[in-house]
Chains A and B, each alone.
Chain A
Amino acid sequence: MGLGISTLEKRIHLSKETGSPLSTQEYFVNMGPQHPSTHGVLRLVLKLDGETVKEVIPVLGYIHRGIEKIAEHQTYRQSVHLGDRLDYLSAFTYNWAFSMAVEKAAGIELNDRIQTIRTLFAELQRIQSHLLWWGVFGMDLGAFTPFLYGFRDREMLTDIFEETAGARLTMNYIQPGGLMYDLHPNFVKKVKNFLKYFKPKLKEYDALLSGNIILQQRLRKVGILPAEQALSLGATGPVLRASGVSYDLRKQEPYGVYPQLKFEVPIGKTGDCWDRYWIRLEEIRESLHLVEQLIDHIPEGKFMLMKPAVKIKIPEGSYYTRLETARGVLGVFIVSDGKEVPYRMHFRTPNFNNLWSVTAMAPGGRLADLVAILSSLDIVVPDIDR
């Protein structure tokens, strides 16, 4: 404090100093590290002029756990679970990205069953992650009910994951060389149940939130991110696609069984909050479509190609793989010196780059716009601090 907004004497003193009876001043406030809409321990230093945001400075480091350093002391097999702790809403995809890097380096070829199951889980996870985002997005804009609706439907997916992977959030399921366990016998039935249940629910979502005039007023033409700026900031995923850039690694650099599948990549026009909102809902629809294509065609085969106790050694060199999570491009970079542990490992996480686009979008808007923008970026804070 101490900016003189507290007592009248200070205020009078200040206006005498500046020579105007009604002088205003810009002031700084801390949004976070404890704040309901920063979604974790993110701190934004805001420079405000009344309600108008002049500048946003993200301050990181409140949940830095040294994940990349820890990885330097663990074998490749032990490091799989570290990805879960980055973006806890896309644990499967993070496991997959890491496993893919190790497999590429060690030259492991996978069978169709493993690839199909991985793709299936990645898509289910995308739906699950977007559902959570949808609920929280509603809550950030002041509507409480979507939060519960989103969680209600997400719960079904979480149960499906729990049955097969044994965990609800940090699955640690996709391993270098295959999968941790085989599919649970109930899996196909439950996923089909979910598809049948969930499709009509999307209409309910539109009726509750998307069609609401207040929501549209809050989102349209708010937080516009032009395509060039999005590209130069390194934003990826729905944030980039909302700005009109058709960039989805599932199409550009297909992995898994995506080359054999039919799906569209939704593209926005203006890059405002509404486009980001709408694109995520469209992605849920596309993912449902993908799951439908896969669920009846899971090939037979082994689910793990390596013996569990074998330590993986990667030949000397550096390896980089990347894939598309629910939030954007995730890259895993491994430098190996031929030992059982990596020499250096680095995650290129989507949220880190996406976050900085808030510095380009928020200035000039209101405080409430900043909340909408931040929520439309769908950040997961542990993914930003590694």
Chain B
Amino acid sequence: MKVETIAERVSEAWPHHPLIALGYLLGCLAGSALFLSVLGLVLIYAERKIAAHFQCRLGPMRVGWHGTLQTIADTLKLVLKEDIVPSQTDRFLHLIAPFLCLLGTVLAFMVLPMAPWLQISDLNIGVLYITAISGLGVLGILLGGWSSNNKWSLLGAMRAGAQIISYEISATLALLVVVLFSGSLQLSEIVQSQASGWWIWRAHGVGLVAFVIFLIASTAEINRTPFDIPEGESELTAGFHTEYSGIRFAFFFLSEFISLFVVAGLTATLFFGGWMPFHIGAWATFNQIMDFIPPLFWFFSKTALIVFVIMWFRWTFPRLRVDQLMKLEWKFLLPLGFANLFVASVVILENWYFFPK
């Protein structure tokens, strides 16, 4: 199955038909902008509804059928609201911080293989690229907190900096396990390598441990409960985005939800076979039926499942304290990650996992 990404199509068309190439680019830009904003709306709606049903209430019900248009109304309100920049802020940094924050997540989104035919760019160092680019987001948070000239914001930003950078290590260690198994950094090849089985169960527990580490670390990386100390409502009022209003606040919000999607999509790609359908060994008929379901659907349902789990965390757990958070990373997750990586290398060397090449 040849994977044809949008980037490949553009470079193919460029020498002979530059207009078509431009068309591809523009279509891709408009398409991803539309997709991301709709995704943001859907995720916010889902979050509110899921939260509501966890908490024995209905959630938004008034605007549109079952409140479906509520997020659109909220977005309109945020866009039309005055964009206040407090007088003593570092104005330039204060203005660009939300965009930096969004930039990191959108760039990470660009390499997710959503279907064999739908991937914007298939970098041969995809995993490395994602770990590198997701570090951009923390820059936006740090600058936002710093430039607000508010001590609470600064506290939130410093917490975010320490937290995100620490947890990135564990997330990367967990990623490396899958990279070792599939033998490639390219996300589309990682998906292909799971044709005979997903890495979460194929690797005799190593994959499962890696999955758990990755889920915890990436929940921390996107600042969601129980790791939402940078915002920590009851402690820091709103943390790094206390001084933001209007569309800039909306950008922080949007980037939080997009990164939720990216993280969930990445987890699905690495551990649950991405767009690969669900197959059970020798059940030929069952496998054929599964093949009929389009890959796009597989990707999105797997991602939605993980998004749900992360939301479930949020509405169940209390928040960790900042030093406990660091302890969990440096004293527990990191050693466990290294040990897991070591075991994984041994497993691969000895070909102890299911269906080796």
Residues of A within 8 A of B (CB): 1, 5-7, 27, 29, 35-37, 51, 138-145, 147-149, 152, 208-209, 212, 214-215, 217-218, 366-369, 371
Are A209 and B318 within 8 A (Cβ)?
Answer: yes
Which of B51, B55, B159 is the most central at the interface, judged by chain A CB atoms within 10 Å of its CB? B55
Residues in A neighbouring B226, C-beta threshold 8 A? 142, 214
Check A145/B54 contact, CB under 8 A, given A29-B152, A138-B318.
Answer: yes
Residues in B neighbouring A36, C-beta threshold 8 A? 233-234, 237
Check A143/B318 contact, CB under 8 A, given A1-B149, A148-B55, A367-B155.
Answer: yes
Residues in A neighbouring B159, C-beta threshold 8 A? 51
Check A148/B57 contact, CB under 8 A, given A139-B234, A371-B234.
Answer: yes
Instruction: Give the docked Cα–Cα distance between A51 and B258 (Å).
Output: 30
Instruction: Give the docked Cα–Cα distance between A141 and B320 (Å).
Output: 8
Which of A141, A144, A212, A369 is the most central at the interface, judged by chain B CB atoms within 10 Å of its CB? A144
Question: Mind listing 10 A-B residue pairs with CB under 8 Å?
Answer: A5-B154, A36-B233, A141-B319, A142-B318, A144-B314, A144-B315, A152-B56, A368-B232, A371-B234, A371-B235
Check A6/B149 contact, CB under 8 A, given A51-B322, A149-B56, A366-B323.
Answer: yes
Q: Cβ of B225 < 8 Å from any Cβ of A?
A: yes
Instruction: Give the docked Cα–Cα distance between A249 and B318 (Å).
Output: 34
Are A212 and B56 within 8 A (Cβ)?
Answer: no
Are A1 and B88 within 8 A (Cβ)?
Answer: yes
Q: Cβ of B316 < 8 Å from any Cβ of A?
A: yes
Which of A5, A143, A152 is the most central at the interface, judged by chain B CB atoms within 10 Å of its CB? A143
Check A368/B229 contact, CB under 8 A, given A1-B88, A145-B315, A212-B317.
Answer: yes
Residue on A nearest B54 in the bound complex, by CB:
A145
Check A218/B315 contact, CB under 8 A, given A36-B234, A148-B55.
Answer: no
Residues in A neighbouring B189, C-beta threshold 8 A? none
Are A368 and B237 within 8 A (Cβ)?
Answer: no
Q: Give the distance to chain A from B87, nearest Cβ to Cβ, in Å.
A: 11
Residues of B within 8 A of A (CB): 51, 54-57, 88, 90, 149, 151-152, 154-155, 159, 225-226, 228-229, 232-237, 314-324
Are B90 and A141 within 8 A (Cβ)?
Answer: no
Top 8 closest A-B pairs, CB basis?
A142-B319, A148-B55, A143-B318, A141-B318, A37-B234, A368-B321, A6-B149, A140-B234
Residues in B neighbouring A51, C-beta threshold 8 A? 155, 159, 322-323
Residue on A nearest B148 in the bound complex, by CB:
A6
Are B318 and A215 within 8 A (Cβ)?
Answer: yes
Instruction: Give the docked Cα–Cα distance between A218 and B226 (Å).
Output: 12
Residue on A nearest B152 in the bound complex, by CB:
A29
Are A37 and B235 within 8 A (Cβ)?
Answer: yes
Check A367/B54 contact, CB under 8 A, given A214-B317, A218-B321.
Answer: no
Additional pairs, 15, CB under 8 Å, beyond known A37-B234, A368-B321: A5-B154, A6-B149, A27-B151, A35-B237, A36-B234, A140-B234, A141-B234, A144-B55, A145-B316, A148-B56, A152-B56, A209-B318, A214-B318, A214-B319, A367-B235
Are A218 and B318 within 8 A (Cβ)?
Answer: yes
Residues in B neighbouring A215, C-beta threshold 8 A? 318
Residues in B neighbouring A367, C-beta threshold 8 A? 155, 235-236, 322
Q: Give the distance to chain A from B250, nearest Cβ to Cβ, in Å.
A: 21
Check A5/B151 contact, CB under 8 A, given A141-B318, A144-B51, A366-B322.
Answer: yes
Residue on A nearest B150 in the bound complex, by CB:
A1
Are B317 and A149 within 8 A (Cβ)?
Answer: no
Residues in A neighbouring B319, C-beta threshold 8 A? 141-143, 214, 218, 368
Q: Give the distance to chain A from B60, nearest Cβ to Cβ, in Å.
A: 15
Which among A1, A145, A212 is the interface contact of B55 at CB below 8 angstroms? A145
Residues in B neighbouring A27, C-beta threshold 8 A? 151
Instruction: Give the docked Cα–Cα distance between A366 and B323 (Å).
Output: 9
Which among A6, A29, A144 is the interface contact of B90 at CB below 8 angstroms? A6
Instruction: Give the docked Cα–Cα distance between A371 and B236 (Å).
Output: 10
Instruction: Give the docked Cα–Cα distance between A250 and B317 (Å).
Output: 36
Instruction: Give the docked Cα–Cα distance between A214 and B229 (Å).
Output: 13
Residue on B nearest A367 in the bound complex, by CB:
B235
Residue on B nearest A138 in the bound complex, by CB:
B318
Instruction: Give the docked Cα–Cα distance between A152 and B237 (Å).
Output: 25
Instruction: Give the docked Cα–Cα distance between A334 and B107 (Å).
Output: 71
Which of A143, A149, A368 is the most central at the interface, judged by chain B CB atoms within 10 Å of its CB? A368
Instruction: Give the docked Cα–Cα distance between A215 and B226 (Å).
Output: 11
Q: Give the distance to chain A from B319, nearest Cβ to Cβ, in Å.
A: 3
Residues in B neighbouring A35, C-beta threshold 8 A? 237
Check A6/B322 contact, CB under 8 A, given A140-B234, A148-B57.
Answer: no
Residues in A neighbouring B54, C-beta threshold 8 A? 145
Residues in A neighbouring B51, C-beta threshold 8 A? 144
Residue on B nearest A147 in the bound complex, by CB:
B55
Are B321 and A366 within 8 A (Cβ)?
Answer: yes
Residue on B nearest A152 in the bound complex, by CB:
B56
Residues in A neighbouring B228, C-beta threshold 8 A? 142
Residues in B neighbouring A144, C-beta threshold 8 A? 51, 55, 314-315
Residues in B neighbouring A143, C-beta threshold 8 A? 225, 316-319
Residues in B neighbouring A6, C-beta threshold 8 A? 88, 90, 149
Residue on B nearest A365 in the bound complex, by CB:
B321
Residues in A neighbouring B322, C-beta threshold 8 A? 51, 366-368
Instruction: Give the docked Cα–Cα distance between A37 and B152 (Å).
Output: 14
Are B151 and A369 within 8 A (Cβ)?
Answer: no
Instruction: Give the docked Cα–Cα distance between A367 and B273 (Å).
Output: 42
Q: Give the distance to chain A from B127, nearest Cβ to Cβ, in Å.
A: 30
Instruction: Give the docked Cα–Cα distance between A6 and B89 (Å).
Output: 8
Q: Give the distance to chain A from B233, nearest Cβ to Cβ, in Å.
A: 6
Q: Give the distance to chain B from A9, nearest Cβ to Cβ, in Å.
A: 11
Residue on A nearest B323 in the bound complex, by CB:
A366
Residues in B neighbouring A369, C-beta threshold 8 A? 321
Residues in B neighbouring A214, C-beta threshold 8 A? 226, 317-320
Instruction: Give the docked Cα–Cα distance between A46 and B69 (Å).
Output: 43
Q: Give the distance to chain A from B222, nearest Cβ to Cβ, in Å.
A: 16
Residues in A neighbouring B316, C-beta threshold 8 A? 143, 145, 208
Are A149 and B55 within 8 A (Cβ)?
Answer: yes
Q: Give the distance to chain A from B78, nearest Cβ to Cβ, in Å.
A: 21
